[in-house]
Structures are given as C-alpha cells and as structure tokens.
Amino acid sequence: MRLFEVEALTVGITGSPFPILREVSFYVEPGEVLALVGESGSGKTMTALAAMGLLPFGIEMTGGDVRLEGDSLVRTGGTVERSAAQMSMIFQHPTSALNPTMRVGHQVGRVIQINQRLGRTQSLEAAVELLKHVGIPGAKRVARNFPHQLSGGMCQRVMIAMAVACQPRLLIADEPTTALDVTVQAQIFDLIKSLVSEIGCGVLFITHDLGAVAEMADRVAVMYGGQVMEESPVRDLLAKPRHPYTRYLLESVVREVDHRVEDIGVDFALTGCRFGHRCPYVHEKCNGFPPLVEISPSRRVSCFLRTEELR
C-alpha cells in the first residue's frame, strides 16, 4: 500500500474560477523521500499546506483526495484532518512557525510530551538532546532562549527538531535547510534519512536545490504553474528529463539562462497547459489540460507531446 497519495488535488482562491493548484497528483511509498521541485510560485508550499489541512483563510480545496495509508483524510466541506503523529511539517518560514513568547526548549518539549507520552521534565531533557542532534551548539542554554534570540538557521533547526519529535508517518519538509550552511545541511539530511530508516516514514521534501535532490530523494515530482509536470525516479530524471519544463529547469542549472527574457510568472487563468507561454513545443492541442500520463512503469508526464517525442 502506498504510504501517502495525493490525487487530482485542486485548490484555489475562494470564489475564483481559476484554480492555483490544478489536479496535482503524486505519491510517497513507505521509507521513501519524494522531492517536490519547481520554480518560485509554482505551488509547492500550497500543495503541502493543503495536504496538512492548513490552507490559509480565503484559499480552499475544491477537489481531489489526500490519502494516508489508504485512508482518505478529506472530510466533508473539503477540509483535511490529520494528527501530528500522522503528518508533521517543517515550514518554509521558521520565524512565523515558532511561538515567539515561549522558550524553544519548551516548544520542542511539549511536542515530545504529547507524542511520546513522557513526563514534563523528561520531555525537556529529551528536547535538549534533540536540539543537540540538530547541531545546535550549547543546546542546554539555547533551550532557554526565545526564538528572537536565535539566528535564522537555529530557528530552522528548532523547527526541524519539533517536526522530527512527532515521529510522523509522513514528514513534510518545506525548504528545510535554506538558512543552513552546507556542513549543517549535510547533518540535517543525515538526520532525516536516519528517521526514515528507523521508523520507515515517508518524506515529502520541497526544495529548489537540485544538488540536494540528487543527494536526498528517491523520486521527484516537478511542478510548474500549480501543475505536476513530471514524476520520476531521481536518477532517470537527471539523466533524461522528459517534460519540456524539466528540460528547461535542468538547463538553467548548467548554463546561464537569458535573464532579459521577461518572465513574469504564470497566468493562473490559463485553461490550457500552463507552460504553454514558454514551451518551445507548444501546439494547438496545448489549449487543453494535459493529464498526467504514465510513459514508462516508473514515470508520469503531463504533456501533449507523443510518448516517442518525449523520449
């Protein structure tokens, strides 16, 4: 059974006919890391928030399903219900996700107290241990600090500690290491990997760093304009990108793209393929919505080009 599955998830501004996320589908197997990549504004965070049942006011889920271990988490009215032991998330904005009035040791401790059913002092000790584990020097002292007394990367690690403390079935990590230097980043990646191997959870790993994808992920889903364009094992994707957008994305890493091209985001009112305005292969068919189609047993691509053309 798949650990986690998102199917045809559609999300938009309440009352607007144009969805931001359009039929987003992907899955995560137990013990697997799925990377979600795509340019700024492509809908990665929105996808994660929808799956967590944390969409902001004014944004709603209008279709699709979110399943964990086979059970749908979507309740009537399009709300998602889950517990922290089922799914927990490392948020993209650490400062806004931490409680500014509470010492960070207590914040982590409380999560441990609830999820691992330990006593208060024991939880606090476990919290300090965990803060050490995410590489915070002087963890005991830092545990008594408030978030504003921490550096950007320290806040991020506190949040990682909180998410990990839940020992969830699915961990969602939204750009978890953007505020960390590469040496600490490597340490955090190891921590996430060891969580995966210890408790067999799955990870949805959101990033724009393809180096990190190559290092961390088993499979990858590529998003553009609120649509999943391609889903594939990492190695195959890096070696042979199929979707026109994936090709563009990989090229932008190896060679300098032309910045003079006016590229002002995606028009969410488009009914056709949202990559159409930049796609070198755009044709009449692209005015319709390209479904995610299996082109080989482990790969799915959303594009009207014929399978041979995608090869």
Partner 1 sequence: MTLLECRNIHKTYGHGVATVPAVRGVDMQLERGETLGLVGESGCGKTTLGRVIVGLNAPTSGKVVFDGEDVSGRLHEPEFRRRVQMVFQHPQSSLNPRFRVSTTLREPAILLTSMRNEELGQQIEQTLRLVGLGIEYQTKKPKQLSGGQLQRVAIARALMSSPDLIVLDEPTSSLDQSIRSRIIALLKDIQERRQVSYLFISHDLSTVRKIAHRVAVMYLGRIVEVSETEALFNDPQHPYTQALLSAVPSIDPGDRSERIILRGETPSPTALPVGCSFQDRCELVHARCGVEAPLLQETGPARHVECFAVQ
**200 lies in the site for partner 1, by CB under 8 A:** no
Residues 6+ apart with CB under 8 A from 180: 153, 156, 157, 188
28 is a site residue for ligand SF4 (CB under 6 A): no
Using a 10 angstrom Cβ sphere, with 0-12 exposed, 13-18 middle and 19 or more buried, the burial of residue 250 is: middle
Contact status: 209 vs ligand ATP (CB under 6 A): no
Size of the site for partner 1 (CB under 8 A): 55
Mark the segment that binds Mg ion (CB under 5 A) among 91-99, 123-131, 188-196, 295-303.
Answer: 91-99
Which is closer to ligand SF4, CB of 73 or CB of 279?
279
273 counts as binding ligand SF4 under rule CB under 6 A: yes
Stretch that binds ligand ATP, among 36-44, 72-80, 189-197, 209-217 (CB under 6 A): 36-44
Under the criterion CB under 8 A, does residue 152 sit at the interface with partner 1? yes
Query: Considering only residues 229-248, where is the footprint of partner 1 by CB under 8 A?
Result: 238
Contacts with ligand ATP in 74-113 (CB under 6 A)? 92
Q: How many CB atoms lie within 10 A of CB 4?
A: 26
Smaller CB separation from ligand ATP, 152 or 211: 152
List the interface residues with partner 1, window 271-310 (CB under 8 A): none
| Residue for token pair 């006593």 | 119
Least gap, CB of 142 to partner 1 (angstroms) = 8
Cβ 261 to ligand SF4, closest distance in Å? 16
Q: Least separation, in Å, of the C-beta of 220 and ligand SF4?
A: 17
116, 215, 240, 277: which one binds partner 1 (CB under 8 A): 215
Q: What is the C-alpha separation between 247 and 309, in angstroms, rounded? A: 13
Residue 303 found at the interface with ligand SF4 (CB under 6 A): yes
Per CB under 6 A, 295 contacts ligand SF4? no
Which residues of the shown chain bind ligand SF4 in the complex (CB under 6 A)? Answer: 244, 273, 275-276, 279, 281-282, 286, 290, 303-305
Which residues of the shown chain bind partner 1 in the complex (CB under 8 A)? Answer: 38-41, 45-46, 56, 92-96, 132, 135-138, 141, 149-154, 156-157, 175, 178-186, 208-215, 238, 249, 252-253, 256-257, 259, 262-265
